[in-house]
Amino acid sequence: MLHYLRAAPIVMRRFITEIIFLIFLLFAYDVSALALDADGNCPSLANISCKDGLLLPLWEPKDNITTGQRVGRAIVYFLSLMYCFLGVSIIADRFMAAIEVITSQEKEVRLKTKSGEIQVITVRIWNETVSNLTLMALGSSAPEILLSIIEICGTNFEAGELGPGTIVGSAAFNLFVIIGLCIVVIPKGEVRRVKHFGVFIVTAVWSIFAYLWLYFIISVTSKGVVEFWEAFLTFLFFPITVLTAYIADIKLFQRKFLSKKYKARRKAKYMLRNGDDLEADGKFSNSEGSSVTSGGSLEEEFEKTRLEYIETIKDIRKRNPHIDPKELEELAQIEVLNKGPKSRAFYRIQATRQLTGSGNVVNKAQLEKKLPIKQTLIEDIYGPEVQQIYFNPGHYTVMENVGSFMITVSRKGGDLRNEIAVDYATEDGTAVAHEDYEPTNGTLVFRPNEQHKQICLTVIDDDIFEEDEHFNVRLSNLRIIRSNEENPDCRIVDPSVATIMVLDDDHCGVFHFNDESVDVSESCESAAFVVVRSSGARGCVRVPFKTVDGTAKGNGKDYSNVSGTIEFQDGQTE
């Protein structure tokens, strides 16, 4: 929170000042200034009567009760309210999870390039804007809508204490508080932009119009009464809002009225499986032969994801230098999942789960379920009759002193009796051939019914400290040697490039105590502490140390001050 306060000090100070001023107005209101009767009671409160609740009846007796009874009843009602609040949150969590499943439905679109190659991309069936304004809005506002329905049914369809105020209050909170907080929490020096600015303008205009329209039908045309034509128009405005927002999202008027030159330069977008937009300038043809403007190569998107994954591994390695490669891979995969775009339903579910102590939505169990999906997608996209060649897996993390190790190339689908060959070759990344690894190339031949082949790679170990590096191995030139079919269909599919992440083991080390705390007796004259050197032991290193006061005081009162230097020789770990 302090980080956010530093990020926007002027805005935050102004916000806090306004809150303090409002609290001051609430508490500075002099109750004694009210018109009291001879007995010291407020006559304006005489006509107020409490009613039975829907779940909890009115606690009798209601008159002549002591202050202690009032406090006790208030605590019981408050706890009951919180229990109901958690119940509604859990139900809404399930509801939003169901909506998330509906809106995340996808379909596959086959695109044909000019060279005749078929590319398959996954697109969302639901438009993001439409789903947010319809199902997502219904799910997030379901509690207040249901409360209003329950109230109106319980009061013979007459306006009650909730009524429009519930909807207006919720909308006002979204408009002012949430937008204000989104602005305040932006870290200093960073910028956030509205992704779909046209949609934002349309929805903002409709939101302001909703306030004006509600005031108009309640207070101007028919005061205190909502007539049928007003209700009909109010309901009709909703699909109009969704339609105008959708038009703004797809930029219909821009494409229709702007110049052809602009339209030719315009990049079409497809929503991919992970929610990102894939952009491209090229022309494609779909399987029916019609022209489709679509986004470039899927290899570019795969390359972007691969580089992002590499950077994530480097960041985690800097924060946790002692981590082992397997755990590093798991943390990187979880962090990449968490970085992906999330829907409104995701954040609603996440908030409820954290409130009830259920933990993060993206956890290790979900990760383990999600990782095998990548392999099943290959058959889903190309079908079981197409034979696919790919790296399995597409990413390897090894230590610099690993020496030689094997990576696997697999094939699946189609007729496994076919004999096929595929070339492979290493490529430099940040790691350089002959300096960091031994370059290699060759040809893999899959004999009949052979599903896996391995490639031997060698990493060169040195005694020089350097950043973690990576190099790649690429598959190419797939060809059929012998087949029992007339026109066998074989393809190289993603991951067609294997990334080898080499973690440096020449780090001078990370120094820490073997135990975080050590208990010693006061009668003990001295105590020994073990300092451990992990994540590398290269070179001679001197580590200074000194004692610092806690609850115990130095200078001979509770202990004797000690300071000095520990020297670790090359290879020494303790």
Which option is the CATH number for 507-574: 1.10.10.10, 3.40.50.800, 3.40.30.10, 2.60.40.2030? 2.60.40.2030
Q: Point out the least confidently predicted range of 32-36, 115-119, 400-404.
A: 32-36
560: pLDDT strictly greater than 90: no
Cα distances (angstroms) measured from residue 362 to each of 136, 255, 353, 416: 20, 39, 11, 37
- Rounded to whole angstroms, how far apart are CA atoms 165 and 125? 35
Q: Strand 452-459 vs strand 437-438: parallel, antiparallel, or unpaired?
A: antiparallel
pLDDT at 255: 58
pLDDT tens for residues 154-174?
777 666 677 667 777 777 887
Which stretches of 52-163 are assigned E, i.e. beta strand? 106-112, 118-124
In the numeric block, the tokens 């679509």 are attached to: 294
Q: Which residue has the higher pLDDT, 54 or 2?
A: 54
- Of the two residues 251 and 20, the one the predictor is more confident about is 251
Among residues 248, 234, 288, the alpha carbon closest in space to that of 109 is found at 288
Cα(111)–Cα(101) distance, rounded to whole angstroms? Answer: 26
| Predicted local confidence at residue 151, as pLDDT | 76
pLDDT given at position 243:
92
Ordered alpha helix ranges (H), 288-413 = 298-319, 325-339, 344-355, 364-370, 373-382
Three-state DSSP class for 22? helix
CA 104 to chain centre: 15
| pLDDT value of residue 172 | 80
Angle at 392 between CA 389 and CA 394, to 5 degrees: 100
How far is 307 from 152, CA to CA, in rounded Å? 56
What is the band of 130 on the pLDDT scale with cuts at 50, 70, 90?
confident
* Predicted confidence (pLDDT) at residue 281 exceeds the cutoff of 50: no
Given its phi and psi angles, is residue 324 left (phi above 0), alpha (psi -120 to 50 degrees) or beta? beta
Highest mean pLDDT among 32-36, 133-137, 443-447: 443-447
- CATH for 373-503? 2.60.40.2030
User: What integer pLDDT is reported at residue 499 of this predicted model?
Assistant: 84
Ranges of each domain in the chain: 104-254, 300-369, 373-503, 507-574
Residue type, 560: S
pLDDT (tens digit per residue) in 61-118: 777 778 888 888 888 888 888 888 788 777 777 777 777 777 777 777 776 655 566 6
Q: Which of 104-118, 230-244, 266-280 has the lowest mean pLDDT?
A: 266-280
Which one-letter DSSP state was computed for residue 134?
Answer: I
- CA–chain centroid gap for 109, Å, is 26
Q: How far apart are CA 421 and CA 431, in angstroms?
A: 28
Fold agreement between 373-503 and 507-574: yes
